[in-house]
Chains A and B, each alone.
Chain A
């Protein structure tokens, strides 16, 4: 399976600021996904990061709030913009290697104060 490095692992941010989360994979993957997991809740898909085109966002998530980059087949970033305490959550990147299974990065625990 792919090795996925996600950083930062955690951060405490002031409201109104932005944080960019990075996800690096040790092999080329077609599909990369960004999830949010609020305390005690399951995974919520934010968007699919497409290489060479705009990300595809799920209902309730917009590009202005969660801009995503996917410059190549091994890297993606998610930015959480103009943060509020409601954005406090764990953010996870995930990859699909084409064999159906999904693998996850270590996650970023974000606290907005």
Chain B
């Protein structure tokens, strides 16, 4: 059974701090990894994708991938109240559809 493990939270951080969201996955052959953001009552929105080991930066977001440890993380710098949402980790095991985690609820406190 291919699985993604995420801490459900809530993760609370003060405004301006770095939020760190973590995810582990079970499938060693996974090649593609994604972070989705879902605001309450809305559908998931893709915010980051990462395919190779190391860091990938996009604005205030940095995704980190370590395939040896089967670990992917998302860092949000200078967190804003508008970042408060549920963040879903997902991976592509080569067979559609993506495998999603249960999500981590982030709360940024002003």
A-side residues, CB < 8 A to B, are 1, 31, 33, 41-43, 45, 48, 90, 92, 94, 96, 100-107, 109
Instruction: State the CA gap A106–B45 with chains docked (Å).
Output: 10
Instruction: State the CA gap A92–B34 with chains docked (Å).
Output: 18
Report whether B88 and A43 are in contact in the complex, using a CB–CB cutoff of 8 Å.
yes
A70 nearest CB across to chain B (Å)? 14
Report whether B92 and A100 are in contact in the complex, using a CB–CB cutoff of 8 Å.
yes
Q: A100-B32, A101-B49 are in contact. Are A42 and B96 (CB under 8 A)?
A: no
Report whether B34 and A101 are in contact in the complex, using a CB–CB cutoff of 8 Å.
yes
B10 nearest CB across to chain A (Å)? 11
A8 nearest CB across to chain B (Å)? 14
Interface secondary structure of B, over-half rule = loop
B-side residues, CB < 8 A to A, are 31-32, 34, 41-46, 49, 88, 90, 92, 96-98, 100-103
Report whether A45 and B46 are in contact in the complex, using a CB–CB cutoff of 8 Å.
no
Q: A31-B96, A48-B96, A94-B97 are in contact. Are A106 and B43 (CB under 8 A)?
A: yes
Report whether B97 and A45 are in contact in the complex, using a CB–CB cutoff of 8 Å.
yes
Closest to B6 in A: A42
